[in-house]
Every structure is written in structure tokens, then in C-alpha cells.
Homo-oligomer: A and B are copies of this chain.
Amino acid sequence: MVTVDTGYAESMTDAPLWSFLGPAGTFTEMALRQVAPLNVELDPCQDVPTALDRVRSRAAEAAVVPMENSVEGGVNATLDNLVASTPLVITAEMAVPITFVLAGRPGTRLEDVTGISTHPHAWAQCRGWVHHNLPEARYVAGTSTSAPAQALANGEEAGYQAVLCNALAAQTYGLEVIAGGVADNPDAVTRFVKVTRPGRVGEPSGADKTTLMVQLPHNHSGALLNMLEQFSARGVNLSRIESRPVGDSLGRYRFSLDIEGHVREERVQAAFIGLHRTCPMVRFLGSYPRLDARPVTVLAGTSDKDFVVARSWVADVLEGRAL
């Protein structure tokens, strides 16, 4: 465990340990705080694979990692890692608004700032604000949004008096907020996920999504249509699809998918059965509540009851009893 001198991660022997994409004070930690128990012990990791391996090795109970390209990381690393190694499953997703504060050591005023540090991706999202408010400020690149904050707090900075970080990082490192709500796009949000070792799948909430990875048997667009028809034939809607080259010499693809619904629902199971029959690889990566809590639209003929009634009708047909 990479501990940080920030007060948490002490020695509470019974506290659950959660790994995450560090360092302390990142947006990822903000996501973790939304779902972790209050007595969680933090385990900030250098990169996504390390955070996930901490769960695989049972060092950590859960990991929180970014699931969309964000100011600090990319989704592909997360998805590839989930599939490539010992199985893990997603059990929750969280959204974090990507807004920044301009922070400095206590007493720093806006007019004192001639240099600013942050991660380059964060800088790209604040350039408009900086151009308008501190047109002369020089940019100093950082390796994350919180690392420059930590350096500034420790007096180890070089060439800057303020950082663009999130509010948690400013608080964590004892910096003072010079300006809040810094973001060229105030609606920017990034999605994070909580990942655990697989176990018995819980009950649906009624507003769930399911993540899976599927490899196609052949390299032609008909194969993709056939795969998608396994969902549409059961009224299962997709909310995300991404092709990934398998990397073998056959030019094949696998697809990372989010679908609306829960693996305990019949229509999702029916689609899974269809995929397992026809695709060389299907990996279940978790059923969990949707961020927006919007109940899944169950099309006519695709409810659990519809499946039960239909199976009963087929049984009647076999016995010569169906109308």
C-alpha cells in the first residue's frame, strides 16, 4: 500500500481497504468517497492495473477506477485489464463533475499568480478561464491534478504559485481556494466504477445496466449485426459499444458493451444464452444500478412474466394442450 501523509489510511485494523487511481485528492478519490464506507482505508495506486491487481490479490476489497476518458486516465486500460486477467466485476458506477478550483498556499491572491500547474488534460479544460482571468500566467505541466497541489503544499513546487485541482485535493493538502468553479465546460462529468472480485449477483434495482465483452466469430459486418440481433430479438437496448481489435492475425474484433437491464432479468439471460452459443468469447463484467437511476424501459413482450408465460405455452404445445 502506498500510504500518503494525509490523515486517512492509518491503522484501523478492521477498516476495509479500497484501492484507487491515485494520488490522494484525485477525482477518482472523489468518486470513491461517494460509495465507500466511512471507515474505508485508502490505497492510492500509480495506475489502473495496479489498483485492480490489488483486488485480485485480495490486498484490497474493492477498487475505484475511471471508466471514461477523463483528465486523469482512460477507459481502455480499465476494460482491457478486466478482461485480460483473472475476472473482476463492476458493482457500481459513479459520476463526478469535472470542475476545478484555483488554489494556492494560504494568503495567495489572484494577482500573485504568474505560473499555474496541473495535468495537461485539466489544463486543456481550463484554458478559456485562464485566458480570461490570468492571461499572462505560464503553464507548468504536472503528472496528475493533485500531484502539483501536494508539491505546492510541501514547498517543492517550481515556477508556479497556484494549481488547478479539485476541491478535495485543495482541502487534502491544506491549500486555499483562490477561485472556484473553474471549467470551460461546466457540465463536464466523468464516470468511475467500483470493481470487486465476482460473487453471487444481487437482485436488480429496476434501473440497472450490465457490462460485458463479446468476441465475434467472424470478421464481417454481418457478424456484428448477428450479435446485436441477439439483443434486439429480446428487446434489450444498448447504451455503449466499442470495438477493440483482438490483436490476432485474423483481424477479428471484440466488443465492449453496456446494455440496459440486469443479468437476473430473463431477457438479459436469453440474450446471454444466445451470445454464449454463437460467439467464441463472452465475459460478464457486472450488473449494477445506472447512474441516472432512470428505470429501464421494458418493451412489450420482454418482461420476466412474458418469458414465463411463453415457456408455459411451449410446454402446452408439446402436450397438445395449446390453443
Contact = CB atoms under 8 A, between A and B. Distances in A.
A142 B143 contact: yes
B232 A230 contact: no
A274 B323 CA distance: 17
Contacts of A144: 141
B143 A120 contact: yes
Interface in A229-253: 229-243, 247, 253
A277 interface: yes
Contacts of A237: 219-221
A198 to B, nearest CB: 4
A26 B200 CA distance: 46
A106 interface: no
B318 A264 contact: yes
Contacts of A129: none
Interface stretch (A160-168, A173-181, A304-312): A304-312
A269 B263 CA distance: 21
A100 to B, nearest CB: 16
A259 B139 CA distance: 39
A228 B221 contact: yes
Contacts of A230: 233
A247 B235 CA distance: 24
A69 interface: yes
A221 to B, nearest CB: 5
12 contacts: A47-B121, A69-B76, A217-B300, A220-B237, A224-B228, A225-B228, A226-B233, A233-B233, A238-B243, A240-B243, A263-B318, A278-B302
Given A273-B307, A276-B313, 15 more contacts: A119-B143, A141-B143, A143-B143, A198-B320, A201-B318, A201-B319, A201-B320, A221-B232, A225-B232, A230-B233, A233-B274, A240-B243, A269-B314, A272-B313, A276-B309
